[in-house]
Amino acid sequence: MSLADKVLAVNDDLPIRTHKPVHSGKVRSVYWLTDEDSQRLIKEKGYDVRPDAPLAIMVISDRISAFDCIWQGEGGMKGVPGKGAALNAVSNHWFKLFKENGLADSHILDIPHPFVWIVQKAKPVKIEAICRQYITGSMWRAYTKGERDFCGIKLPENLNKDQKLEEILITPSTKGILTNIPNVPEVDDVNITRDDIINNFSAFNFNQIEDIALYEKLLKEGFAVISNALSQIEQIFVDTKFEFGYVSDTQGNEKLIYMDEVGTPDSSRIWDKASYDAGKIVENSKEGFRQLLLNHFPDPDILLNKDRMNERTALALNNPLPVDVLMQVSETYVAIAEKITGEKLTLSDNPKAEIIKVLKQEYGLID
């Protein structure tokens, strides 16, 4: 079996019984189960949700996206070996730690396979909540251009690149295109302030104004839990993205939960501490891949300039990357996942066949 065959690149063609179109994102595909299957599984497996809660199967892939494009390798390699399993393993680890620390639940109800989550439908809060402990990346680029106000927070003068900030900053942005909110442009992923959220809390899908303080508390506490755990393995938690939503428990009580993935190399920057202390940045996250792309192509502005999106899409489509580049990314993802979880990551020879087998035999979701 070739390396390319071990990569799960297409994850929206599984024969899972569903009554809605499969929703395929950059990395995950979501299969909404029929009402009958949802209700049967809730009963059989004893999930702590309303008896009529809609459930979905979420299947991760090994695809890699950066700068809003999906990238591929030479020789038909359409993803990064081990990436999907690494992301899920890391998220599962942090979600478990959050629960142990009494923070909040997640949307995950069950993990039938390293690539698969059974999730409950949540009402998403329409905010990408970014937490930053260091000034780097897009924030640093804006800072060098003279920007000092970030999401209503004023930064001091004379900061240096990659410097630790005095406190953890919450710099939220919109998730999706939101309309009719004063001072908020109708585009995806635009920075917003705390006042924007407070003044328009229901437009951002918060049930009540008090939940804004809860979301900030869960953000900071979640960040601290991950940051402390990473420091024990000589890693620095630089910044990350959290997403939240509402679900109901067995009694029908609504609660705010963590959604999507948390603390992964895809949604966070993680630096090696010994290297940082020696004045060097070693990325243990997707940021390393982004930097690699910026150095790989002669005109990096295509990757950074949103007005050149058509050129960027063509660049990703027509320029398969060398296999050793993708293997370098694979090593980063697998190594950090094994460090975080303390367990060896088992890579599958045929993930698709395994997923079909378990969902058919143990969950009755495949005819």
CATH number at residue 69: 3.30.200.20
pLDDT band at 1 (very low <50, low <70, confident <90, very high): low
The answer to whether residues 113 and 157 belong to one domain is no
Give percent above pLDDT 70 in the chain. Answer: 99
In this prediction, residues 145-158 reach a mean pLDDT of 94
Instruction: Please determine, for residue 245, whether its predicted confidence score (pLDDT) is greater than 70.
Output: yes
- Higher model confidence: residue 266 or residue 346? 266
* 236 is a domain residue: yes
299 located within any domain: no
Q: What does the H/E/C string look like for the chain?
A: CCHHHHCCCCCCCCCCCCCCCCEECCCEEEEECCHHHHHHHHHHHCCCCCCCCCEEEEEECCCEEECCEEECEHHHCCCCCCHHHHHHHHHHHHHHHHHHCCCCCECEEEEEECCEEEEECCEECCEEEEEEEECCHHHHHHHHCCCCEECCEECCCCCCCCCEEEEEEECCEECCCCCCCCCCCCCCCCECCHHHHHHCCCCCCCCCCHHHHHHHHHHHHHHHHHHHHHHCCCEEEEEEEEEEEEEECCCCCEEEEEECCCCCCCCEEEEEHHHHHCCCCCECCCHHHHHHHHHHCCCCHHHHCHHHHHHHHHHHHHCCECHHHHHHHHHHHHHHHHHHHCCCCCCCCCHHHHHHHHHHHCCCCCC
Q: Which residue has the higher pLDDT, 155 or 306?
A: 155
Assigned domain for 319 exists: no
Tell me: do 172 and 210 sit in the same domain: yes
Tell me which of 271, 293, 313 is where a domain ends.
271
87 with 172, same domain: the answer is no
Please give the model's pTM, rounded to 2 decimal places. Answer: 0.94
Is the model's pLDDT at 3 over the cut of 80? Answer: no
One domain, residues 157 and 241: yes
Q: What integer pLDDT is reported at residue 89 of this predicted model?
A: 97
Residue 185 has pLDDT above 90, yes or no: no
Between 218 and 188, where is the model more confident? 218
Q: Is the predicted pLDDT of residue 218 greater than 60, yes or no?
A: yes
111 with 146, same domain: the answer is no
Task: Give me the pLDDT at residue 233, please.
Answer: 98
Residue 87, pLDDT score: 97
Same-domain status, 145 and 266: yes
If asked whether residues 108 and 131 sit together in one domain, one would say no
CATH number where 227 lies: 3.30.470.20
Overall average pLDDT of the 77-95 stretch: 96
Whether residue 130 is found in the same domain as residue 267: yes
The pLDDT assigned to 306 comes to 87
The predicted pLDDT at position 189 comes to: 85
Has residue 152 been placed in a domain?
yes
Identify whether 295 is part of a domain. Answer: no
Residues 263 and 142 in one domain: yes
Residue 303 lies inside a defined structural domain of this protein = no
Residue 287 located in a structural domain? no
Please state the rounded mean pLDDT for residues 183-197. 89
Averaged pLDDT, 47-63: 95
**136 and 252 assigned to the same domain:** yes
Structural domain of 86:
3-122+341-361
For the stretch 270-313, pLDDT in tens is 999 999 999 999 999 999 999 999 999 999 999 999 899 999 99
For residue range 120-132, what is the model confidence (pLDDT) as tens digits? 999 999 999 999 9
Domain-located, residue 279: no
Same domain, 52 and 166: no
Q: Work out the mean pLDDT of the chain and round it to a whole number.
A: 94
Domain end point (choices 251, 271, 291): 271
| Residues 194, 91 share a domain | no
How many structural domains compose the chain?
Answer: 2
pLDDT, mean of residues 259-266: 95
Residue that terminates a domain, selected from 271, 291, 326: 271
